[in-house]
Structure 1
Amino acid sequence: MSATTPGAKTTVKETGADSYNADNLQVLEGLEAVRKRPGMYIGSTDSRGLMHCLWEIIDNSVDEALGGHGERIEIILHPDHSVEVRDNGRGVPTDIEPRTGWTGVQVVYTKLHAGGKFGGSNYGAAGGLHGVGASVVNALSSRMDVEVDRGGATYAMSFQRGHAGVFDDKSGTPSPDASFTPEPGKATLRKIGKAKRGVTGTRVRYWADPQVFVRDADFQLDKLRDRARQTAFLVPGLEISLSDNRGSEPVAESFKYDGGISEFVEFLAPDQALTDTWRLQGEGAYTETIPVLDEATGHMVSREVDRNMEVDLALRWGGGYDTTLRSFVNIIATPKGGTHQAGFEAGLIKVVRDEVTKNARKLKAGNDKLEKDDVLAGLTAVVTVRIPEPQFEGQTKEVLGTPQARAIVQRTIVNGMKERFSSTKRQDKTETSLLLEKIVTEMKSRIAARAHKETQRRKNALENSSLPAKLVDCRTNEVERSELFIVEGDSALGTAKPARDSEYQALFPIRGKILNVQKASLADMLKNAECANIIQVLGAGSGRSFDLSAARYGKVIIMSDADVDGAHIRTLLLTLFFRYMRPMLEAGRVYAAVPPLHRVVVLNPGKKANETIYTYSEAELQKLLKKLERAGKKYQDPIQRYKGLGEMDEDQLWETTMNPQARLLRRMNLQDAAEAEKVFEVLMGNEVAPRREFIVEGAQHVVPQLIDA
């Protein structure tokens, strides 16, 4: 059998052992291998694979901008399900490639492992490395049109499923269904017009092949928007415009950021800042042995080459406990990490451990050892490296494998953090001190959660009598059935205790308004008796260590008075759950009781018993009174207005607020955590100005007569 061409795959036909010979071997030439096994190149043939194809084309344009050749990229989603990417880079080469005798355009879009990123001087650091991106997309497209502005002219070439040729667009509108005439071998690069002097760039429009991709595969605007925004952050000064013309109302957006990854960190951060965004940069040199093309012989030979890696890091800590860490190699996202991310985490943990050990007495850290989760709690970071010919694990480039990246990134983060911790500037000293306190508190919280993990279950907790004395617990051990009522004050507890069903309803009273945990630190929250007791009663831990499966109650019901103070207490409790027990909200297990505002006794004539009706708003009361008036019925005057739960007797409280068959509960859902975080920060955070603005803007919607003052 003759040698296969580059990119060829050899497969074996299924046949009996006796008849197996060389005739049974099948050679897939060129792009046939891509169409036979598309998942090997793009991961899948659903929307994810469709988007990966688009990333390949976009990344070619981004690589041009990354090298300083262009500052604008346009992405257009057309109504006919095609997509177009335009850039003002140097343009794909249009001259003849000497080894094939084909134009650069035909080589790039039809040959696997062909391109300008194999160790030459064309690209210092690029995302496309294997030379298969554009050709793979072409192979999986029912039509691809390429236009290049270069040398004062505009050139064009078309392809069908990887083969060059000419489409007969009689209607004037390009379509993959148009008649196609293939051009075997060397294809014609058509000159279709003139380009202005100095104008260069590439335009690629393609239609994904329905024979390859599943029927419901489609371009996802949200992911495309996120990717465009992300790339604009990573390449400062690059403008990326996005146009979606598929719907009845076209969508157009543009992204451009000059602050780079520092702005990216601020955009990603989900919580209130504890430190400023710290920018750390460095570089490192190394050597590696790689195969390169010998121009004299035309063969690949192994040579040792010098490399230089640039590292750019941005990080900051917030008051929360979630970790947001994004890593990139030459603007290509590596969601599964790799050697650069491993080096970042190892260096960061080493520096912080050394600093905690150095200040152990001041921080009261003891002899306990910090773990990675303690350090990363509340961290938002972007890790980027630029490196020639990085080694990725597979074409999807989700993991960086270059071993030298670990040491260089680790050295950069260690040096940068040491400089920050040793700084004599007042702001740096304040921020590093707060950071160490937060990290040590996270460590103590984790250790405490681990130590009490078993005792947090209902049975163990009761046996050890470790629950707060004021908890009025229920009898059942069935978590799904049980309910914990958090009630406002002892007066409400006094009424609720005889009113409840002690089989499955537990009561826990709080004294007035708890700590505003949006403003307080984690340490202050844990020191606060009311907050600590609520966490202890629920028995599932807090923050990062919260374990939803360990929660002792199926429902948590906030039962506060129907007045301004009651609303404030409810908000404070919800803030506590949002910040430190968020999985309870996400699971829909937190409720607010809805007690009535009015009790109307309808007087019935004769011996017929009077009827009692409860209303839950002023509008509902007025509607009821008008209805009674029309029916000629009288009611007891004055109407009882409940200002607190303590004003009800036990029967009334059970009937209106605690009886599952008759009560109203408002479930607290968390449909958009990021948006909820912003609202909580405005209403409960440290910044007064946004809250004042909120109050001023909302003042016109307040009805003074309804204010209970």
Structure 2
Amino acid sequence: MKYNHADVSRMPRTGHISLSAYPGGTGSVSGEPFRRGRIRWEIVTSEYSAHHLQVLEGLEAVRKRPGMYIGSTDSRGLMHCLWEIIDNAVDEALAGHGSKIEILLHADGSVEVRDQARGIPVDVEPRTGLTGVEVVFTKLHAGGKFGGGSYAASGGLHGVGASVVNALSERLDVEVDRGGKTWAMSFHRGEPGMFSNGSPDSTFTPFEDGSELRVAGRAARGVTGTRIRYWADRQIFTKDAAFNLADLEQRARQTAFLVPGLEILIRDERTDEKVETSYRFDGGISEFADFLAPDAPITDTWRLTGTGSFTETVPVLQPSGAMVPTEVERECEVDLAVRWGTGYETTTRSFVNIIATPKGGTHQAGFEAGLMKVMRAQVEQNARKLKVGTDKIEKDDILAGLSAVLTVRLPEPQFEGQTKEVLGTPAVRQIVANVVARELTARFASTKREDKAQSALLLEKVVSEMKARISARTHKETQRRKNALESSTLPAKLADCRSNDVAESELFIVEGDSALGTAKLARNSEFQALLPIRGKILNVQKASVSDMLSNAECAAIIQVIGAGSGRSFDLDVARYGKIILMSDADVDGAHIRTLLLTLFFRYMRPLIDEGRVYAAVPPLHRVIVMNPGSKPNETIYTYSENELHTLLAKLTKAGKRWQEPIQRYKGLGEMDADQLATTTMDRAGRTLRRVRMQDAEAATRVFELLMGNDVAPRKEFIIDSSARLDRERIDA
């Protein structure tokens, strides 16, 4: 609101007043100087009445609060929009329409999804008077997935997916092949209209009198499908939000596993090297479970399937337009693939109508309840043979080494929120538990030789996990942080620190006794402990648990850290705040570091998850710069060949000389204590690389590739990567 100078006396005496001055004369209000002329006042009072309320119509609510619909406005939210469009195409494939979906990431930042399904309806919806295309893309809670009979089970439920994407897009183009014609329509931030050309920056003219679903061409007889291309609105999404190709490929692979026979093609045209990937799996979730499994199998992949029915009262839309509460009979299909392996990690994926539920829900709770019921019954029946005694198995004992894919299909499931991460339909829990109990009990009762052998191995594994858990718990209850006088039970070669403060203490795992001698003089014994290892430890990716525990170096590391190993690892009782791997800066040192990281990844992963594992960064070169006169020479350390050449060029340009030959460190043992302390161990000047794990699945695949039993993929990786190797880094 704008007021003249004369209006000042009439301003209210209550509330907060802020002003902005415009050019003019000077004066004052309440003793504060201001310029005469126009004064802009903003009055905020404590009054609260109906005129303060806002009603957001249509898609305005989506643009005002996008996080409510897509979770966030960063890359995660951008990808969620893409999932909404893809899932609509997948729902068509689930209903038996279309066997191929194409996803194109265009160079101009747009993304396009094509399918060969029935196509969005183009006729007029009688209640709104709009075409089906406009209803789908402009009306919230509108679609064919509210029980109208078009979909028996679908991932879309709320009817907001396509309309939300449209509201958050700077431009969206849709083409539908149906009835021998190609129909087209464009939208600008949710509003239908016409663009002057194919760019989102082109002139947009909104429809005024009525919307037009135009005929853009002819379609071949019998050809149907939908093509949707959109440009995300940068007014909504953050600047760094981008489509992640790796996440897209992972989701496409997952969907192809869940819908056997469906081909999903991804083409990335954002770079000069256009990347095209295609996924199709006919084996379904059995193949998926085998793909996810990180270890050697104890059992085959068992497929457990069944159905169950339940009733629920839901409001049903009547032809008159009224919503009438009606008791509806629902059927829930359960399909489960389970496989136990030699490891202790648990890998489970759960889905509802092919929508991933990473946070579980009633279906996963039912799965675990059914599993627990059957396993406990089987262990009790074989208690004497398995030498169980009075101990009871727990859920973690059963889940150790399990790889499972659980899918349920039912009409109109209840999810918690639009992101659909948790299933809430209560009746599904008991249905899944009953199917698991029935099918798994039948598997244990099978008279086939193969099934009996695998069942026996599985029960032995579960019982051994139980015994290991009990033993570890007993050990932890008696184990406490040792001080310097109590360290007699620890390995003799450990040079422990004096501090009892876990957060401050550091354990350096040092390569070789020669480096240990120098490190003892270089360390701060108050909080830095040293543990030497002899050369290369056991490759635990290939070895069994018993082989690992019987290996002196591996056992010493686990004993010194003091938190156990594997599933029983307890981060809270670890004896040191930082674990620092200190190896030579050469190829052998890198190999030793990789072997140690493999040990931590497989048996002490929480240390990596919490960012408590580090790699020391020792220098490669020591350059002594000679200063004229009595000024002392300067010592500079470099950590790579490029850094050395850059330094020498800089010194040459400055007219400075250096001592020849430049010292090249082949190992830590070549440094004296002062040099090692200054460059690698002293907190004031050292550099540490923190070992992080952003994606557990990707890390598992990398470790299996580099350190696993299968040689062929590793050989192929070495050959493919040899061109990127810097030959000067090889000591030869």
Under a length normalisation based on structure 2, what TM-score does the superposition of the two structures give?
0.74
Give a deviation string over 1:65-101, Cα, whole Å, max 9, x none.
1100001111122233222211110011112222223
Change (3 A) 1:130 1:502: closer
Deviates more, 1:652-661 or 1:324-333: 652-661
Cα contact 1:176–1:207 (8 A) shared by 2: no
Match of 2:430 in 1: 407
Give a deviation string over 1:120-171, Cα, whole Å, max 9, x none.
2211101111112112222222322221111111111222232322x142xx
- Asked if 1:144 corresponds to 2:209, the answer is no
Match of 1:311 in 2: 334
- Asked if 1:293 corresponds to 2:279, the answer is no
User: Which whole-Å CA distance do the structure 2 matches of 1:289 and 1:571 have between them?
Assistant: 58
Change (3 A) 1:421 1:590: farther
| Structure 1 residue 19, shift from structure 2 partner | 7.5
Q: 1:552 aligns with which of 564, 575, 579?
A: 575
Supply the AA of the counterpart residue of 1:220. N
Match of 1:188 in 2: 212
Change (3 A) 1:348 1:36: same
- Asked if 1:212 corresponds to 2:240, the answer is no
The 5 Å alignment of 1:42-441 reads: 42-165=70-193, 167-169=194-196, 172-184=197-209, 186-295=210-319, 297-441=320-464
Match of 1:5 in 2: none
Change (3 A) 1:533 1:113: same
| Structure 1 residue 284, shift from structure 2 partner | 1.0
The 5 Å alignment of 1:575-594 reads: 575-584=598-607, 587=611, 589=613
User: Which whole-Å CA distance do the structure 1 matches of 2:44 and 2:526 have between them?
Assistant: 70
**SS of equivalent to 2:223:** coil
Cα contact 1:261–1:382 (8 A) shared by 2: yes
Match of 2:470 in 1: 447
Cα contact 1:486–1:507 (8 A) shared by 2: yes
Supply the AA of the counterpart residue of 2:198. T
Aligned length in residues: 638
| Structure 1 residue 511, shift from structure 2 partner | 9.7
Change (3 A) 1:116 1:366: same
Cα contact 1:525–1:532 (8 A) shared by 2: yes
Give a deviation string over 1:612-639, Cα, whole Å, max 9, x none.
xxxxxxxxxxxxxxxxxxxxx9xxxxxx
**Structure 2 unaligned blocks of 5 or more:** 1-42, 621-659, 661-665, 682-686
**SS of equivalent to 1:224:** helix
**SS of equivalent to 2:158:** coil
Cα contact 2:85–2:162 (8 A) shared by 1: yes
The 5 Å alignment of 1:299-698 reads: 299-453=322-476, 455-459=478-482, 463=486, 466-467=489-490, 473=496, 475-477=498-500, 479=502, 480-483=504-507, 517-522=540-545, 525-526=548-549, 531-553=554-576, 575-584=598-607, 587=611, 589=613, 655=672, 660=677, 677=700, 681=704
Match of 1:32 in 2: 60
Cα contact 2:153–2:412 (8 A) shared by 1: yes
User: Which whole-Å CA distance do the structure 2 matches of 1:484 and 1:19 have between them?
Assistant: 64
Supply the AA of the counterpart residue of 2:200. S
Cα contact 2:175–2:226 (8 A) shared by 1: yes
User: Which whole-Å CA distance do the structure 1 matches of 2:230 and 2:584 have between them?
Assistant: 63
User: Which whole-Å CA distance do the structure 1 matches of 2:301 and 2:718 have between them?
Assistant: 30
User: Which whole-Å CA distance do the structure 2 matches of 1:262 and 1:522 have between them?
Assistant: 27
User: Which whole-Å CA distance do the structure 1 matches of 2:378 and 2:696 have between them?
Assistant: 33
Cα contact 2:505–2:529 (8 A) shared by 1: no
| Structure 1 residue 578, shift from structure 2 partner | 3.9
User: Which whole-Å CA distance do the structure 2 matches of 1:426 and 1:84 have between them?
Assistant: 52
**SS of equivalent to 1:28:** coil
User: Which whole-Å CA distance do the structure 1 matches of 2:596 and 2:63 have between them?
Assistant: 57
| Structure 1 residue 235, shift from structure 2 partner | 0.9
Give a deviation string over 1:544-563, Cα, whole Å, max 9, x none.
23234533346668899999
Change (3 A) 1:653 1:87: closer
| Structure 1 residue 190, shift from structure 2 partner | 1.3
**Structure 1 unaligned blocks of 5 or more:** 1-13, 597-632, 634-641, 646-651
Give a deviation string over 1:455-483, Cα, whole Å, max 9, x none.
54433796596546776655454554554
| Structure 1 residue 340, shift from structure 2 partner | 0.7
User: Which whole-Å CA distance do the structure 1 matches of 2:376 and 2:47 have between them?
Assistant: 67
Change (3 A) 1:462 1:67: farther
Percent of residue pairs identical: 66
User: Which whole-Å CA distance do the structure 2 matches of 1:554 and 1:376 have between them?
Assistant: 30
Cα contact 2:195–2:202 (8 A) shared by 1: no
Change (3 A) 1:111 1:276: same
Under a length normalisation based on structure 1, what TM-score does the superposition of the two structures give?
0.76
| Structure 1 residue 513, shift from structure 2 partner | 9.2
Supply the AA of the counterpart residue of 1:383. L
| Structure 1 residue 436, shift from structure 2 partner | 2.7
Change (3 A) 1:89 1:654: closer
Deviates more, 1:664-673 or 1:345-354: 664-673
Deviates more, 1:360-369 or 1:76-85: 360-369
Cα contact 1:472–1:508 (8 A) shared by 2: yes
Give a deviation string over 1:399-441, Cα, whole Å, max 9, x none.
1111111111111222222222223333333333333333333
| Structure 1 residue 307, shift from structure 2 partner | 1.3
**SS of equivalent to 2:125:** coil
**SS of equivalent to 2:331:** strand
**SS of equivalent to 2:465:** helix
Change (3 A) 1:461 1:350: farther
CA RMSD of aligned residues (A): 4.5
| Structure 1 residue 196, shift from structure 2 partner | 0.5
Supply the AA of the counterpart residue of 1:43. G
Supply the AA of the counterpart residue of 2:364. Q
Supply the AA of the counterpart residue of 2:408. V
Cα contact 2:506–2:580 (8 A) shared by 1: no
Change (3 A) 1:360 1:532: farther
Give a deviation string over 1:347-399, Cα, whole Å, max 9, x none.
11222222223333333333333222222222222111111111111222111
